[in-house]
Amino acid sequence: MRVLIKLGGTLLDSPDSLHRLASGITAAVESGVEAAVVHGGGKQMTRFLAERGVESRFINGLRITTPEIIDAVVKVFAGSVNTQLVAAFRRAGARPVGLTGVDAGLVDAEVLSPELGQVGKPVRSDAGILRVLVDAGYLPVIACIAGDEEGNIYNVNADQMASACAAAFAAYKLLFLTDVEGVRGREGTTLETLTVSEARDLIQAGVASGGMQAKLESAIKALESGIKEVVLAPGATPGAVASLLSGARLGTRLIP
């Protein structure tokens, strides 16, 4: 089975959860699963800027990315967060390789909106580098930074990055491991299963907004790109990765 796993939220902030997830993903790879990992790091980014007296400003949940901010994005996402995650995978026994979307044209982007600055929307993805690494026994660990043929660098929403990589990688499953239990419905309870049309209804009704809206929109795009199943699940749950890969009910499963 080929899977793309996106890690985000407070999971990246806790050494314990990082070690547990790295161990679970490594065990899956050792059992024959072909995997690649995409990560965010928004909380770490906000802290980094605050420590330097720079205010984080957002529009519709997306960070306004000036030239000063994009420099910090590279330092934090491709630097400290990616390296710490790679180190956690090495401790777990994997052979991780840290990447960004800029590497080998993995993900190209274009400006999403002029008012957001260097925030990018994925427009092309070439998973050749992922296939080369996975076939050689390595685990790609990808920071949510994209580029283009002109040498520009873009800050990309990690959920969109995961969707683009999953489609190009021809993953069977896309797992969003986060710090929430799953997708909540109109009654406030976590839904076990959600179709694309039902997900669109939740967005339209304003039930799913902000970060959850971004995840659902990325999940819909992944399913429309040929991914068979997308799961939004609590990554802090012990044994989460093994459970999800075995088909156990955890979080919310999105299907076409």
Q: What letter represents residue 199's amino acid?
A: A
Rounded to 10 degrees, what is the CA torsion of 106, 141, 139, 89?
A: 170
Contact residues for 65 (Cβ-Cβ < 8 A; gap 6+): 73, 116, 117, 118, 119, 154, 155
pLDDT digits (tens, 9 = 90+) for 36-54: 999 999 999 999 999 999 9
Instruction: Inform me whether the pLDDT recorded for 91 exceeds 90.
Output: yes
Rounded to 10 degrees, what is the CA torsion of 202, 204, 205, 210?
A: 70
Q: What letter represents residue 181's amino acid?
A: E
pLDDT digits (tens, 9 = 90+) for 133-151: 999 999 999 999 999 999 9
Most confident stretch, 86-95, 180-189, 209-218 = 86-95
Q: What letter represents residue 40's amino acid?
A: G
Instruction: Inform me whether the pLDDT recorded for 68 exceeds 80.
Output: yes
Q: What pLDDT, on the 0 to 100 scale, is given for residue 60?
A: 77
Nearest to 115 by CA among 47, 43, 60, 73: 60
Q: What pLDDT, on the 0 to 100 scale, is given for residue 210?
A: 79
Contact residues for 115 (Cβ-Cβ < 8 A; gap 6+): 59, 64
Q: What pLDDT, on the 0 to 100 scale, is given for residue 193?
A: 93
Classify 14 as helix, strand or coil. coil
pLDDT band at 77 (very low <50, low <70, confident <90, very high): very high
Q: What pLDDT, on the 0 to 100 scale, is given for residue 256?
A: 87
pLDDT digits (tens, 9 = 90+) for 241-256: 999 999 888 999 999 8
Rounded to 5°, the CA angle 157-159-164 comes to: 95
pLDDT digits (tens, 9 = 90+) for 173-213: 999 999 889 999 988 899 999 999 999 999 988 899 878 88
% of the chain exceeding 70 in pLDDT: 100
Residue-range domains of the chain with CATH = 2-255 (3.40.1160.10)
